Amino acid sequence: KKKQERELFIKMLKSADVFLTNIRPKQLAGLGLDYDDIKDEVPHLIFAHLIAWGREGPDAGLAGFDMSSFWATTGIAHAIHSPPNYMYTAYPTGFGDLATGAGLFGGICAALANKVETGKGAYVSNELYRSGIFCNAAALLR
């Protein structure tokens, strides 16, 4: 049954331009739906992956969310709640999700523009952690 379900999903992807997922890499691979598993079956597809910690490194594959992956680990939470900054009494809701999603959207648009020229798909991703480092770069460089 699992094989039939995968075949049906691949059939749907053959008529799609973009596959957007936030499923962790190990779980995608377990389903046979990681980018490396499907890229030859749907070579035109833009595979867009939004994950918390990236595909490599000690935290790759761990679950994560805005507060942990974007705010706490990158130091942004400390920066806005420590003296003398006290910028917020509460975290701006979804800011990390918004910044990370916007970055992924830009990657998808670039991949779609390339696809118009070449007909080829691509893998694009963005991670909450790396987006947080980018957004906190000025504070980290002080």
| Nearest C-alpha neighbor of 111 from the set 101, 99, 121, 98 | 121
Q: List Cβ neighbours of 24 (8 Å cut-off, separation of 6 or more).
A: 51, 61, 62, 63
83 CB-side CA count, 13 A? 0
Residue type, 59: D
Active site residue 97: yes
For residues 92 and 85, give the distance between their C-alpha atoms in angstroms, rounded to a whole number.
15
For residues 96 and 110, give the distance between their C-alpha atoms in angstroms, rounded to a whole number.
21
Which value, in Å, is the radius of gyration of the alpha carbons in the chain?
Answer: 18
For residues 16 and 58, give the distance between their C-alpha atoms in angstroms, rounded to a whole number.
33
Q: Which of 17, 40, 66, 97 is catalytic?
A: 97
Catalytic site residues? Answer: 97
